[in-house]
Amino acid sequence: MYAALWRILPGPMWVRILIVLVLVALLLAALVEWVFPWAADTLLPQESTVGG
Amino acid sequence: MSDAEIDQSPETQPVLYASRREARRAEAAAANEKVVGVVARPRLSVTGVLGEALITAGVLVMLFLGWYIWLNDIVAGGEQQQAAEVVQEELQDQWERGEAITERPTDPGEPAVSVAPAAGQVFGALIVPRFGADYTRAIATGVDVQTVLNNRRIGIGHYSETQMPGEVGNFAVAAHRTTYGAAFGAIDQLRLGDRIYVETVDGWYEYSFRGLEYVWPTGVDVLAPVPTVPGISPTDRVLTMTSCNPRFSAAERIIAYAVFETWYPRAGGPPTEISGVVQAQG
C-alpha cells in the first residue's frame, strides 16, 4: 500500500520526501483539530459534574 | 512464514550477507551486470494492504492516546491559563470603569455579592496556589460540557443554581480532572488550610480548603446551600469543587470543600499570596 503510494509520487527522491512530510503534517493537523476531539467526546466522555 | 517463503524473487541467491543493505547492494550490482533494467516489484497483496492498514490503525491509536492524556492537556491548559489572565485584566478594567456593583454591604467585613451573569458568560477567575504558582482559570456560568468545561478559554463552570462567591450558602464549581486542560487535575493534592481565591470584578474572596469527599455521579446534595444537607438554611459561606474520580473515569465524583475566610475589595489590591499572579498581567 505505502510502497504503491511512494511509486505514485512524482519527482526525485527529495521531492517525494518533501511531499510525504507535507501530507503527514496535514494529516496530523486534521487529526488533532477534528478527529481526536470527536473521538474523545464520543468514545471517552469525561463527566466532572454531579447530577448531569 | 519464514523469510525464505516471503522472498520469492527469482534473483534471490542462496548467499548470506552481513546486512540487508549489503544484500541490497549485491542485488543491485547483479541487476546492473545483467542489464535487466526492470527491477522486480512486489505486487499489492491483500495481506500486505491489511497489514499496513492495521499498523496504521495502531499508530493512530497511539497518537490519539498521546494527544488525549498529554498533549491536549498542555495545549488546552496553556490556552486556559492565558485566557484567565486576560479575564483578570478585564475584571480590573471593568472595575476601573465603575462596573462593580454599587450596593455594598453596610458592614465592611461583609463581602460584596455579584449578581449571577447569564449562562456561558465569564465572570471571574479561580486562583489556587496549590495547583501551581501562577495557576488561574476563568469561571463561567453553567456547567455545560461543550461551551464551558471543554472550552479552551474557560475550563471552570459555576453551577448556576448555587450561590455566588461570598454569598451565604454554597458557591459550587466543576472542572475536568483529566483532559481539556484538566483545570482540577490536582484537586486531590489540596491540603488542609490551602487557600483558594475567587476573583470577581468586586475583589478577591479567600476560601480555606477543608476536605475531600467522594460521591456517586448522582450526589447532587453536595450542591445544597449546606452541602450534603439539603433543605436547611445556610449560615456559612462554602466553596465546593466537583470533578471526576478516578482519573480518566466517570464512575465517581471527587468533591473538595472550602470555607470562606475573608475577602479583599478590589480597591485595596489583591492579597499578598497571589499578588504575583494578579500583578503579572499588569
pTM of the model: 0.77
Residue in chain A lying closest to B143 (CA): A49
Angle among Cα B87, B259, B208 to the nearest 5 degrees reads: 70
Of the residues B176, B177, B237, B266, only one is catalytic, namely: B176
| Domain spans of chain A, in order of start | 2-42
| CA A39 to each of CA B65, B71, B76, B200: distance values in angstroms, whole numbers, following the listed order | 11, 15, 17, 35
Cα–Cα distance, B268 to B266 (Å, whole number): 5
| CA B204 to each of CA A39, B207, B263: distance values in angstroms, whole numbers, following the listed order | 39, 10, 6
pLDDT of B108 higher than 70: no
| Range list of H helices, A1-52 | 2-8, 13-30, 36-43
Residue B68, all three cell numbers: 488525549
**What amino acid occupies position B36?**
V
Mean pLDDT over the full length of chain A: 88
- One of 3.40.640.10, 2.40.260.10, 3.20.20.150, 2.60.40.10 is the CATH number of B68-279, namely 2.40.260.10
Reduce the DSSP state of residue B194 to 3 states and report it. Answer: coil
Q: Which long-range contacts (CB under 8 A, 24 or more apart) does B157-162 make?
A: B157/A49, B158/B116, B158/B123, B159/A49, B159/B223, B160/B116, B160/B119, B161/B223, B162/B223, B162/B225, B162/B240
The band of A49, judged by pLDDT with boundaries at 50, 70 and 90, is confident
Q: Residue B42: which of A2, A15, A17 has the closest Cα?
A: A2
Cβ separation of A46 and B177 shorter than 8 Å?
Answer: yes
Of A1, A40, A50, the CB nearest to B223: A50
Residue B220, all three cell numbers: 447532587
Residue B114, all three cell numbers: 455579584
Per-residue confidence (pLDDT) for residue B27, from 0 to 100: 67
Residue linked to cell 511531499? A19
- Residues of chain B positioned with their CB less than 8 A from the CB of A45: 250
Mean per-residue pLDDT for B17-42?
Answer: 61
| Whether B195 is catalytic | no
Per-residue confidence (pLDDT) for residue B114, from 0 to 100: 84
- If one counts every other C-beta atom within 10 angstroms of the C-beta of residue A33, the result is 10
Distance from CA of A16 to the nearest CA of B (A): 19
Of the residues B137, B158, B237, B253, only one is catalytic, namely: B253
Give residue-wise pLDDT tens across range B194-253. 999 999 998 999 999 999 999 999 999 999 999 999 999 999 999 999 999 888 888 899
Cα–Cα distance, B160 to B10 (Å, whole number): 75
Q: Judge contact between B139 and B207, C-beta under 8 A.
A: no
Mean pLDDT over the full length of chain B: 85
ipTM exceeding 0.85, yes/no: yes
Per-residue confidence (pLDDT) for residue A52, from 0 to 100: 53
pLDDT of B4 higher than 50: no
Cα–Cα distance, B52 to B126 (Å, whole number): 48
Cα–Cα distance, B15 to B18 (Å, whole number): 10
The band of B147, judged by pLDDT with boundaries at 50, 70 and 90, is confident
Is some CB atom of chain A closer than 8 A to the CB atom of B220? yes
Cβ separation of A40 and B48 shorter than 8 Å?
Answer: no
Query: In B101-251, where do the E strands start and end?
Result: 122-127, 136-141, 155-158, 169-175, 195-200, 203-215, 237-245
Give the rounded percent of residues in chain B with a pLDDT score beyond 70.
Answer: 80
Per-residue confidence (pLDDT) for residue A47, from 0 to 100: 75
| Domain spans of chain B, in order of start | 68-279
The band of B32, judged by pLDDT with boundaries at 50, 70 and 90, is low
Give residue-wise pLDDT tens across range B47-100. 989 999 999 999 999 999 999 888 888 899 999 999 999 999 999 998 888 777
Q: Judge contact between B186 and B131, C-beta under 8 A.
A: yes
pLDDT of B34 higher than 60: no
Is some CB atom of chain B closer than 8 A to the CB atom of A44? yes
pLDDT of A4 higher than 50: yes
Q: Judge contact between B177 and B68, C-beta under 8 A.
A: no
Residue linked to cell 480548603? B209
- Residues of chain B positioned with their CB less than 8 A from the CB of A47: 217, 244, 250, 253
pLDDT higher at B49 or B31: B49
Mean per-residue pLDDT for B250-272?
Answer: 91
Cα–Cα distance, B155 to B104 (Å, whole number): 30
Distance from CA of A44 to the nearest CA of B (A): 8
Residue linked to cell 478585564? B90
The band of B45, judged by pLDDT with boundaries at 50, 70 and 90, is confident
Per-residue confidence (pLDDT) for residue A37, from 0 to 100: 87
Is some CB atom of chain B closer than 8 A to the CB atom of A3? yes
Of the residues B158, B237, B244, B266, only one is catalytic, namely: B244
| Whether B24 is catalytic | no
pLDDT of B118 higher than 80: yes
The band of B116, judged by pLDDT with boundaries at 50, 70 and 90, is confident
Residue linked to cell 473515569? B249
Cβ separation of A4 and B253 shorter than 8 Å?
Answer: no
Give residue-wise pLDDT tens across range B175-187. 999 888 899 999 9
Per-residue confidence (pLDDT) for residue B282, from 0 to 100: 45
Mean per-residue pLDDT for A19-47?
Answer: 89
| Range list of H helices, B2-137 | 3-6, 20-34, 46-66, 72-96
